[in-house]
Amino acid sequence: MPLSLADFDYDLPPELIAQVPLPERTASRLLIADGARLEDRRFADLPSLLQAGDLLVFNDTRVLHARLHGVKDSGGRVEVLIERPVGRHEALAQIRASHAPWPGSRLLLEGALEVAVVAREGAFFLLRFPGPEDLVDLLERHGKLPLPPYIQRQAEDADEARYQTVYAREHGSVAAPTAGLHFDESLMDALRARGVDFAWLTLHVGAGTFQPVRVDDLARHRMHRERYVIPVDTARALAAARARGGRIVAVGTTTLRALEAAAQEGEILAGPGETELFILPGFRFRTADALITNFHLPKSTLLMLVSAFGGLDNLRRAYAHAVAERYRFFSYGDAMFLTRRDAP
């Protein structure tokens, strides 16, 4: 039967939405979902779930200071959320205002940046920032960290570290690849000591990751486009892991989406790319054997992706268990270790 939006809904008590991170990254809980089998563990137990020769694949994107406040030419207030840089001085952005600005108008952001509204492109605006300084440097100095909309507070000093992974390197995201927030250096050292290998890719997460699906007929939904890069060394590491019989474990849905986008022709291709890949149950996965992931919003494309990976009925049982056991949900919440439904 065709799936509808209602197939990916569930009841979540608001108090289970984590508003702050735990004092230690690895203190979060980890729900093992291996087919219909469920087991409650701690994230610090991860090394015991992996073997020498397994390969963890991480997304090393770094969250930009992508939220800016200011005024229009008319004096009206605006809030700008950068969706993605498209050059050294231009970016696509969401703009919240009582009346949308016109192309050709200007915005004064953070009392310092005179920004030109170049054009409107669907739900986004193309903005040109003043030169000669690079856009990323301007954002780092003037912008604010963009916490997700379900975290009902302003970003604080502690979020500057905790809403970044410890291995974040490549500036470009407006949301963290949150499965990676559970790793600290001690845990990564323990994984290396066990003989687990690491590989890296970059997928810059856009603001569209929080956009709700607005159509019941999922065939009509269009994903936001995101940029990724698969390094040559990562493509080689993936092939080597597969050749030696090690499991490939994607750390986060963004990592898995990049891997699957790069493998659409069969073999994982190294290099840059862009993807609008929309993954629903019935999708044939080519890459990872397991997925480490946080718990996702009802009716979201990320919940659809993990349901495709682990099986829709299995995910429904897992989420019902997580709610009953009072797991913490979303970006600062707990995690799952999910086995691919059709993995050998």
Are residues 93 and 237 both part of a single domain?
Answer: no
Same domain, 37 and 100: no
Number of residues that make up the chain: 344
CB contact set of 236 (below 8 Å; sequence gap of 6+): none
- Which residue has 């974040």 as its token pair? 168
Among the candidates 111, 142, 173, a domain finishes at 142
Pairing of the two strands 67-72 and 106-109: antiparallel
My answer on whether omega of the bond before 132 falls inside 30° of 0, hence cis, is yes
**How many degrees, rounded to 5, is the angle at CA 99 between CA 97 and CA 103?**
100
Has residue 172 been placed in a domain?
yes
Same domain assignment for residues 75 and 44: no
The domain tally of the chain equals 2
188 and 275, same domain (yes or no): yes
Tokens 């989420």 found at: 319
Residues 21 and 167 placed together within one structural domain of the fold: yes
Looking at the structure, do residues 178 and 124 belong to the same domain, yes or no? no
Looking at the domain assignment, is residue 153 inside a domain? no
**Does residue 147 fall inside a structural domain?**
no
AA identity, residue 215: V
Instruction: Cite the beta strand spans of 231-327 per DSSP E.
Output: 248-251, 271-275, 290-294
* CATH code for the domain in which residue 87 is found: 2.40.10
Q: Distance between terminal CA atoms of the chain?
A: 26
- Residue 150 in any domain: the answer is no
Q: Is residue 149 part of a domain?
A: no
Q: Is residue 163 part of a domain?
A: yes
Cis ω for the linkage preceding 23 (within 30 of 0) = no
Tens of pLDDT, residue by residue over 187-218, are 999 999 999 999 999 999 987 666 678 888 88
Residue (of 211, 185, 194) closest to 246 by Cα position: 194
Q: Yes or no: say if 54 and 247 are a contact pair by the CB < 8 Å rule.
A: yes
Task: Tell me how many degrees the CA angle 89-94-97 measures, rounded to the nearest 5.
Answer: 115
Same domain membership, residue 280 and residue 221: yes
CATH number at residue 309: 3.40.1780.10
Q: Which domain holds residue 188?
A: 5-63+158-339
Are residue 59 and residue 74 in the same domain, yes or no? no
- Shared-domain flag, residues 170 and 243: yes
82, 105: one domain: yes
Residues of the chain with pLDDT under 50: 344
Global pTM value: 0.94
Q: What is the pLDDT of residue 210?
A: 65
β-pairing, 290-294 vs 248-251, is: parallel
- Alpha carbons within 13 angstroms on the beta-carbon side of residue 121 total 16
Beta strand pairing call for 55-59 and 197-203: parallel
E-state strands within 106-191: 106-109, 113-121, 124-128, 170-173
- Contacts of residue 49, defined as CB under 8 A and 6 or more positions apart, other chains included, come to 32, 41, 337
Q: Are 177 and 275 in the same domain? A: yes
Show which of 114, 142, 170 is a domain's final residue.
142
Q: pLDDT tens, 178-191?
A: 999 999 999 999 99
Residue appearing with tokens 């474990």: 249
151 in a structural domain: no
